[in-house]
Structure 1
């Protein structure tokens, strides 16, 4: 079996190389043999979260005193790359939404009491997180949010709905964005709240049957007079839009890592296939056009990976990365489409059969030009900073 490896960046220290090797082994032994069943059932067993949590990989960037690893952005990149090399985008997305896109709000902005209550269980995989921002009428337009939280004598009352929520069915800790100032316009007046699954005002109204990422559960949620205590407010009131935008930078970094790992796996599979597949009396690999196509997509994939690591380094240095991660999200997600569809094309008819890895990766890849900020929105973010 070919292992397609990019040039290993000098940025990885011994600890991160160990993380990479252990997650790769976990992916090979504990994900790949079972994930077809998860694709069929539309959910990932809780045992997967527990095992990764026990290994210390679900809280690598969270504070050590609450069960985390206290590591930097490169840890998120290594985790995302190696999980996505499994070839199962749904598994990689569910796990990284938990570790890097939802619970991270508590790690960064939670009070000591909130961190103590939620982070140990989240880092250990005992409880799973979901981030609830997208609404039926407001996807990339976060400022168009309509979900409301009204202050009461007892705390807050939440009403509204969220859609396309990863881990929405089987999650335990929901980080919910809601408008708290009805008079504020646009991005102002939005706050963040922590909602527990057992709150009677929370209803899962629909579990989506998706084109790809079929092993991750994706739901529509409804909040019906959902009562929250005062300490459910996460961070400062009215700062929610800023918090969302800040976390989006990390989300888009992780997307770059998911792209990098998926590209590597698709190229590995395709190089093996064209070396074995005979056509016109010789292996497809002997056709110059085939080799050139693979060399071309491998070059683009290497460029995405280099930009991913550069963005991680900038984040760890405390630099403003909005422009760079927007470039990464747009260029990476669009490059992935080219890579997986080139690989599917080179597999011929077998690449179109459900159940083959390249067919699944082509379906899984499609969401990445949409979720986390559509390509068109990302390009506007870049253009604003030119």
Structure 2
């Protein structure tokens, strides 16, 4: 809006002006069309990767040494790769979400944003040399594969097994990765009156393998410890996917974000080279948790923009739509709904900006410790406010907002994406609980430190 801000420098404004026309031309102008078609054309990923427009999906700071080895010194607008920070990241994610739809942009960025960082942060030099050149330049694609039918937000309960071969050269991997609601413990039929209630409690078990259907690799959580070993038995492997023996994949139909390529992956005695282990056996849970912080911040930023698109579209609509002889905007109840949702939205965006700025100013270890739980809360609240804004939009659009065509088509599409914001990446209820538990730990640790200091 051109209002003063303490967060953005000339570098950030220049970056925004440089990337907006590219994103508009290559993505936003076609987003609704591609979501209707339920897929984005292959050439779009190539266009973004050739322009180095997937790199800003990585967490700041970028892997500068690797990028310069690959001949990549600048992003659009002349931004040097070593100068990229979390405010540039926020701007990029926000611009990519300006269509109001997650699917088209997610089809390009999700695997890149979440599948590659663990390899950069924890992979040894040999593994990085084999896979990073092709992944960072977009010649090959990677996804993140954590969730399972019976272990959605309960990551420590993952059952996909990776057992070392007798020769020690391979991990033999068996299991499934999918987006799924498990009712395995429930024998109620589809017409049973309590089925919906039970289903609502099963929702936290949902997960997603986005982009899997197009990916050459998956950064995959597997159990290398014995069954029942919990978090200490988890590891991360780079598992080959497309065309690899023992791997089968198919797309899953979901309510929203249809074009993002949500995928079911089945692994049947898949031989993965032992050198594809990321980091150290048994450290997978730690690696996953550090990756979650980036994922949840990305989700919060994009979802907050989606909420803004829903509300802005509605604002425009009620200015021109007439009922009872006057524009809807002249009805006090309409203004009340807009004000209520708008106040929540603006407070959320202020927190998102503050959060990105804190990430920029804090050392990584301090941010992981101090902001881990708060990142979950930021993501959870973004989903709740998105729900409020999308519901307001559908209600004020009336019948048009309930129709998959015409004036309310975008609002109807956005409304279907609300569960995809509130469940994947850690379901809302799980993250609310996580945030408080983390705050309790921090409180207790700091209280002990103060008491010890007082005794001295």
1:199 to 244, 250, 274: 244
Match of 1:330 in 2: 380
Q: Give distance in 1, aligned partners of 2:25 and 2:416.
A: 23
| Secondary structure in structure 2 of the residue aligned to 1:11 | coil
Could you report, residue by residue, the CA deviation over 1:144-200 in whole angstroms, capped at 9, with x for unpaired residues?
A: 100111122222111111013101111222111101111662211111011223421
| 1:145 aligned residue | 158
Which one of 134, 143, 152 corresponds to residue 121 of structure 1?
134
Structure 1 residue matching 2:359: 3-state secondary structure: helix
Deviates more, 1:69-78 or 1:363-372: 69-78
Which has the larger displacement, 33-42 or 159-168?
33-42
1:17 to 2:17 alignment? no
In the TM superposition, residue 6 of structure 1 has moved relative to its aligned partner by: 8.9
Report the CA distance shift for 1:8/1:79 in structure 2 as closer, same or farther (over 3 A).
farther
CA contact (8 A) 1:212 1:363 kept: yes
Aligned partner of 1:347 in structure 2 is 397
Deviates more, 1:301-310 or 1:368-377: 301-310
Instruction: Measure the CA separation in 2 of the matches of 1:18 and 1:142.
Output: 40
Question: Does the CA-based 8 Å contact 1:66-1:116 persist in structure 2?
Answer: no
Whether the 8 Å contact between 2:32 and 2:410 is mirrored in structure 1 is: no
Q: Is the 8 A contact 1:83 1:91 kept in 2?
A: no
Matched, 1:79 2:92: yes
| Deviation sequence 1:270-309 (CA, Å, 0-9, x none) | 1111111112222111222222321221221122122222
Task: Work out which of the residue numbers 283, 293, 297 in structure 2 matches 1:249.
Answer: 293
Asked whether 1:35 is paired with 2:31, we answer: yes
**361, 364, 367: which one pairs with 2:417?**
364
TM-score by length of 1: 0.92
Name the residue aligned to 2:105.
92
User: Do 2:28 and 2:98's aligned partners in 1 also have CA atoms closer than 8 Å?
Assistant: no
Aligned-partner Cα distance in 2 for 1:12–1:139: 37
For 2:3 and 2:348, how far apart are their aligned partners in 1?
13
**Deviation of the 1:315 alpha carbon:** 2.7
Does residue 214 of structure 2 align to residue 170 of structure 1?
Answer: yes
Which one is further off, 182-191 or 354-363?
Answer: 182-191
Report the more deviating stretch, 318-327 or 210-219: 318-327
* Count of residue correspondences: 381
How many Å apart are 1:329 and its aligned residue?
1.3
Separation of aligned partners in 2, 1:24 and 1:279: 37
Moved runs in structure 1, 4+ residues, more than 6 A?
none
Instruction: Return 5+ residue gaps in structure 2 as ranges.
Output: 73-80, 180-208, 441-456
- The answer for the alignment partner of 1:188 in structure 2 is 232
Does 2:43 align with 1:47? yes
Residue 63 of structure 2 corresponds to which residue in structure 1? Answer: 63
Which has a greater percent of helix? 2
Cα distance 1:330–1:7, how it changes in 2: closer, same or farther (>3 A)?
farther
Whole-angstrom CA distance in 1 between matches of 2:288 and 2:113: 13
- Larger Rg belongs to: 2
Q: What residue is the counterpart of 2:197 in the other structure?
A: none
CA distance in 1, matches of 2:138, 2:342: 35
In 2: Cα distance, 1:16 partner to 1:200 partner: 46
User: SS of the counterpart of 1:305?
Assistant: helix
Summarize the Cα distance change of 1:59–1:292 in structure 2 as closer, same or farther, 3 Å threshold.
same
Instruction: Describe the SS at the equivalent of 1:310.
Output: helix
Question: TM-score, normalising length from structure 2?
Answer: 0.79
Describe the SS at the equivalent of 1:379: helix
- The CA deviation at 1:125 is 2.7
How far did 1:367 drift?
1.2
Q: Which runs of 5+ in 1 are unaligned?
A: none
Indicate how the Cα distance of structure 1 residues 240 and 263 shifts in structure 2: closer, same or farther if over 3 A, else same.
same
- SS at structure 2 position matched to 1:137: coil
1:112: which partner in 2? 125
